[in-house]
Amino acid sequence: MWAEPGNGLNMKTLWTDTPYAMQRVGGLFEAGEITAAERDDLAHFIEHGWLVWHDAIEPSLIDQFAADVRNHHQHAGKFLTTNHRDKVSSRKLSGSKPDRFESLFDLYVNLESAREVCLHPRIARFLTLVFDTKPVACQQLLFQRSNGHRVHQDTSVVTVEDPMLLVATWIALEDVVEGSGELAFYDRSHRLPHYLFKDGTKRIDFIADDQDLYVSELDAACRRESMAYERFLAKKGDVFFWTADLVHRSHPRTLPDDTSRLSCVTHYHPATTTPFWFRYHPDRNHVTDFGERGAYVSAHYPLATQQTGMIDPIRRSWAEHTPRHGLTVP
Ligand SMILES: O=C(O)CCC(=O)C(=O)O
Ligand SMILES: [Fe+2]
């Protein structure tokens, strides 16, 4: 069900989603707090709901991250992955054989290269401008291939206490091949009215809610508004940012199912709010500091334990698939 256009449901929003956002960008530039490039980036992000940076991350760092991912089988059991081979939505522990089929969760916990990429100083700076405080990386999914996500807004599946205080990055670890299930999105779709599920929230409940209806209504709304549908044929090192409600999907794949599309999605919320799962999992509400650049949290790892080297995922989180706890796969 759609809320009335203009009804903000009394939710907090990022300043970039407020009517005076462009004015503020001008003010920040006049005051010398942002550069001309940052002004232009913020203006684009505000107007379109997304932003692309080409060649933004050093190739050596991307290569390190890609190599760590390709070698993850050398640390069997340290990673949590999807289980698409068995066609089930629960997760499984990573195995000891190379496997390029599954996606991996929250690599920033056990891979320094993942932390360095997703909280890269350039990214952290931009997110800090958008958030007015430090970013907290909250859900990360490393795609070795496209997962074929249908049309959605991340507010439906990546849930924080203040649903609209959310930004994501999509980082290419290799050049994207057309037909591999590239990321696609509707330009300016972040300003659609709020879509509400049966319980009146922006969180989908895969049992109570009709997912097919959600997909078709969202897609129809974007088409009705003549929003441009764009595919992101990223090159290695490109970074794509999107704001909470930008409508996006994996473009239908035409190449074989296992075609590589090595890319990393990270969601972030400002340090002023918390993930929805904190309510239900007090054992997973530790915020690990990452200095000036921000912090990270995980629904899948016991971050509170002193970490020397890699840690094991929390066993209970493998099987969980309850949207009420905000632990669905984005
Ligand atoms: O990478 C894709 O194709 C879509 C990913 C996505 O929607 C997400 O992780 O939120
Ligand atoms: Fe998404």
CB atoms within 10 A of CB 16: 22
pLDDT value of position 330: 47
> Does residue 323 register a pLDDT over 90?
no
Rounded distance, CA 163 to CA 159, Å?
6
Q: Kindly tell me the burial class for residue 60, based on how many C-beta atoms sit within 10 Å of its own C-beta (0-12, 13-18, 19 or more).
A: exposed
Spell out the residues 6+ positions from residue 33 whose beta carbon is closer than 8 angstroms to its own.
none
Give the ligand with the smallest distance to the CA of 169. 1
CB atoms within 10 A of CB 210: 13
- What's the CA-to-centroid distance between 261 and ligand 1, angstroms? 12
- What's the CA-to-centroid distance between 99 and ligand 2, angstroms? 23
Please indicate whether residue 280 or residue 179 has the higher confidence score (pLDDT): 179
pLDDT above 70 covers what percent of the chain? 95
Residues 164-171, mean pLDDT to the nearest whole number: 98
Please indicate whether residue 158 or residue 123 has the higher confidence score (pLDDT): 123
Ligand 1 probe mutation, 180, 249, 267, most atoms within 8 A of CB: 249
CB atoms within 10 A of CB 97: 7
Q: Which domains does the chain have, with CATH numbers?
A: 49-325 (2.60.120.620)
CA 303 to chain centroid? 20
- What's the CA-to-centroid distance between 249 and ligand 2, angstroms? 7
**Cα distance from N-terminal residue to C-terminal residue, the chain:** 21
> Does residue 171 register a pLDDT over 90?
yes
pLDDT in tens, 181-229: 999 999 999 999 999 999 999 999 888 999 999 999 999 999 999 999 9
Cβ atoms of 239 and 173 within 8 Å: the answer is: no
User: Given CA atoms 319, 266, 176, 71 in this order, what sign does their dihedral have?
Assistant: negative
pLDDT in tens, 103-129: 999 999 999 999 999 999 999 999 999
Rounded distance, CA 312 to CA 303, Å?
10
pLDDT in tens, 229-272: 999 999 999 999 999 999 999 999 999 999 999 999 999 999 99
H-only helix segments in the chain: 21-30, 36-48, 59-70, 112-118, 121-131, 211-224
What number does the ligand 1 atom closest to the CA of 263 have? 1
pLDDT value of position 112: 97
Rounded distance, CA 122 to CA 150, Å?
30
Count the alpha carbons within 13 Å of 253 in the hemisphere toward its beta carbon.
18
Distances in whole angstroms, Cα of residue 267 to Cα of each of 67, 141, 157, 166, 261: 22, 9, 11, 7, 19
Residues composing the chain: 330
Q: Whose alpha carbon is nearest atom 8 of ligand 1?
A: 330
Rounded distance, CA 221 to CA 204, Å?
18
> Does residue 317 register a pLDDT over 80?
no
What number does the ligand 1 atom closest to the CA of 251 have? 3
pLDDT in tens, 87-100: 888 889 999 999 99
Which among 322, 298, 321, 323 has a CA at the least distance from the CA of 311? 298
Residues with a CB atom less than 6 Å from ligand 1: 141, 143, 146, 149, 154, 170, 183, 248, 250, 265, 330
